[in-house]
Chain A
Amino acid sequence: IAGITQAPTSQILAAGRRMTLRCTQDMRHNAMYWYRQDLGLGLRLIHYSNTAGTTGKGEVPDGYSVSRANTDDFPLTLASAVPSQTSVYFCASSQDRGGADTQYFGPGTRLTVL
């Protein structure tokens, strides 16, 4: 693989179910991010990780959790999905969080919660 991969590509989920979105990068980047993108709104940061073993809350963290057990993987879990979590979810990574560091994005997961 090259870059960032996300799985699944799309998912329809019943409200109340638990769901984990997977994200893997092979660029050995230190920082990783989860965003959601909704029509008419900018990308909103859910959670981030500066380096393996650390995580932080973004702008819209409620209802979501993350873990960063190693450099490559950064899964996002919805403990009990609600319809307002219907969105397109993007995982991204960058070498670090400062300077001119470019964020590279995965292809996204389109999630529908019914």
Chain B
Amino acid sequence: GQNIDQPTEMTATEGAIVQINCTYQTSGFNGLFWYQQHAGEAPTFLSYNVLDGLEEKGRFSSFLSRSKGYSYLLLKELQMKDSASYLCAVRDSNYQLIWGAGTKLIIKP
């Protein structure tokens, strides 16, 4: 079966750095996405990786290793507004997105 694993919850301090890991086992691979979802709201796009390596976008970076079936999202200079769930999703061989259950990130002052 297809599977995306992420930690259920993480806690970090305002101003610090946090890394959210995602491991996947899917039928084929056509890209990996990270989305942010605030409580009661819709998911919004953060990043996309299809080749191995690091993609940087402001305070957020995403890393991919296809051989290890592994990605992480790195958030720097954490702000209170970063408190949200972070969803990892992999596009499989049928171009369908397979979603992880999400990691709830709690930021403390």
Contacts and interface: CB of A to CB of B under 8 A. Distances in A.
Interface of A: 40-45, 48, 58-59, 90, 97-100, 102-108
Contact of B98 (A42, A48, A90, A99): A42
A90 B41 CA distance: 10
Interface in B80-106: 87, 89, 95-102
A105 B99 contact: no
B30 A45 contact: no
Interface residues of B, number: 21
A40 B95 contact: no
10 contacts: A42-B89, A45-B96, A45-B97, A48-B96, A58-B96, A90-B42, A100-B50, A102-B48, A103-B97, A106-B42
Contacts, number: 44
B99 A44 contact: yes
Contact of B45 (A43, A102, A107): A102
Q: Per DSSP, are chain A's interface residues mostly helix, strand or loop, or mixed?
A: loop
Contacts of B44: 105
Closest 4 CB pairs of A and B: A42-B99, A105-B42, A43-B99, A102-B45
B96 A43 contact: no
Contacts of B95: 97-98
A108 B44 CA distance: 13
B75 to A, nearest CB: 19
A37 to B, nearest CB: 9
A99 B87 contact: no
Give the residue among A44, A100, A108 with the most B Cβ atoms within 10 A: A100
Contact of A41 (B96, B97, B101): B101
Contacts of B97: 43, 45, 103
Given A42-B4, A42-B87, A105-B42, A100 B100 contact: no
A62 B87 CA distance: 25
A59 B3 CA distance: 13
Nearest to B44: A105
